[in-house]
Amino acid sequence: MNKEAFTLKEVLFIFSITIMFLMMGISYDIPLFIAMLPGVIALWIIGMKHQYTFRELVSFSWKGMVRNRHVAWLLFFIGVILPTWYYSGTIHDINSLFLTFISPTYFFTIAFLVTALMSMIVGSTIASLSIVGVPMMTAAEQLGLPSGVVAGALVSGGFVGDRTSPISSSFQLLRMSVEIDNRLHLRAIIPTMLWGVGITAMLFLAFDIFVPKGDISLNNVISLEDLNLFQITVSLLPPLSLLIMILLKQEMKLSFSVAIGMAIVILLLRGVDAVEWLQGLFTGVGSLSGVLDMLPFVLFILIVGAYCQIMENTNIVQPFVEKFFSNKTSLKKNTAQTIGIAAGVSLISPNQSFPIILTGRTLLPHWKAYFSKEDLARILADSTVVFAGLVPWSLLAILCSTIIGVPVLNYAPFALFLIVQPFITWLYSTRVKRDYLLDKAV
């Protein structure tokens, strides 16, 4: 039976209900998986009005949850790996190594690069800001540096790993949404990341040159001579093993298991109490989430998967997408339009995960038909993923602001990595346009 197309009024009603309750969830500290349910119910009711049966809607929902099950498993592993790395000394030792590079002369640049490296290791903006951001802000206060610029450098560094690290939930959500594997996703997003890091570092270097810092010296800075380099080398083994396994195309569960197992051996050899580790494993430690912290997020991801799959199978937004993306040949124009959609969805979304899945699943059919999934992954990594740090009512931006003690509107103009990435990815699309069309023609 041919179903009647959804009207714009119905689509806007569904999105309004969804966003309104998600905003309420953030405002009143309601678990997001519960706040997501009214949107799903609205989608079901209007779907049944368009002759979709209860059995069909159940089937669509189940398919979406099954598709996201791999992300759910990886979130579980992330809840295991971060506390384990904490108790093995990996995070502490790497942080100590990074802090040896603090220099008043190049403070902004080093703050950005150090936080970027830490975020690549822990795969989280929040965790990297908690680990290196807090001591960096304290050092900045000693030097009398403008807090907005320092905070912008730290948040910029935090988002490098948030978009790029294979153990980042954003990385996994995006690559699953656009249906590519880890290696292809990395290959797609690395080029613009390198350009973004290079340009951002140069911009902060300009700040270092022109912002006066006075003659104040830093207190309690760690020197390289104070470090046990053998201990730090051992601590680097778990993250290095994870990276090597991923580059060798090993299955993600196996890769995580090896990195976790190696860290467990190290923590036991270092005399960590097994009961203390297990407790931290389940409840988290400091800013690092444990298994229990991940469960509400896992449920949210599964429900969002069901929501997006219903929209996909009922073809709710696809007619509107096709009308908006009228040009089927210009990679540059389609990139600009995708960035615009990503900005709009991010502005009305209270968290980062929902717009990643929504834009990925909604735009995927168009990009598969006329361009490539890898292009879409790159563009969304450089827009949807990073925009969450700039929206003042986004949960991620609020958490960043809380940790470093600087309001979102104060650091946002200096979160240069987040600002330059959309422009870089648009320019990259402009540069690769000729090669891309040639490949399509062949």
DSSP code per residue over 151-167 = HHHHHHHHHHHHHH-TT
Band of residue 267 on the pLDDT scale cut at 50, 70, 90: very high
> Does residue 414 carry a pLDDT above 90?
yes
Residues 319-359: tens digit of each pLDDT: 888 888 888 888 999 999 999 999 998 988 878 889 999 99
More confident residue, 270 or 440: 270
199 compared with 239, residue with greater pLDDT: 199
pTM over 0.85, yes/no: no
Q: What is the pLDDT of residue 215?
A: 54
Q: How far is CA 193 from CA 161, 336, 412, in A?
A: 10, 18, 19
Give tens-digit pLDDT for 153-209: 999 999 999 999 988 989 999 999 999 988 899 999 999 999 999 999 999 999 999
- Which token pair is 295? 């469960």
**Of 114-128, 216-230, 396-410, minimum mean pLDDT range:** 216-230
Q: Sort residue 220 into left (φ over 0), alpha (ψ -120 to 50) or beta.
A: left
CA distance 426 to 88: 42
Q: Looking at residue 438, what is its pLDDT?
A: 44
Band (48; pLDDT cuts 50, 70, 90): very high
Residues 105-121 have a mean pLDDT of 92
Phi and psi at 116, nearest 5°, equal -60, -45
> Does 441 score more than 60 pLDDT?
no
**What is the per-residue DSSP string for 324-354?**
H---SS-HHHHHHHHHHHHHHHHHT-SSSHH
421 Cβ contact partners less than 8 Å away, ≥ 6 residues apart: 163, 192, 196, 382, 383, 386
**Separation between Cα atoms, residue 325 and residue 341, nearest integer Å:** 11
What residues have CB less than 8 Å from 386, skipping those under 6 apart?
A: 159, 162, 163, 417, 418, 421, 422
Least confident piece of the model among 110-124, 138-152, 206-220: 206-220
Share the mean pLDDT of the chain.
Answer: 88
CB 158 within 8 A of CB 133: yes
Under DSSP, the state recorded for 133 is I
Where does the pLDDT of residue 137 fall: very low under 50, low under 70, confident under 90, or very high at 90 and above?
A: confident
Q: What is the pLDDT of residue 287?
A: 67
Enumerate residues 6+ apart whose C-beta is below 8 A from 84: 238, 260, 263, 264, 267, 277, 281
Give the pLDDT score at 2.
Answer: 61
Distance CA 400, CA 388 (A): 10
- Looking at residue 389, its pLDDT comes to 94
Helix (H, G, I), strand (E, B) or coil at 369: helix
Asked whether residue 221 carries a pLDDT value surpassing 60, the answer given is no
Q: Measuring CA to CA, how many Å separate 270 from each of 175, 182, 277, 282, 290?
A: 37, 33, 12, 21, 21
Expressed in angstroms, the distance from the first to the final Cα of the chain is 39
pLDDT > 90: what percent of the chain? Answer: 52
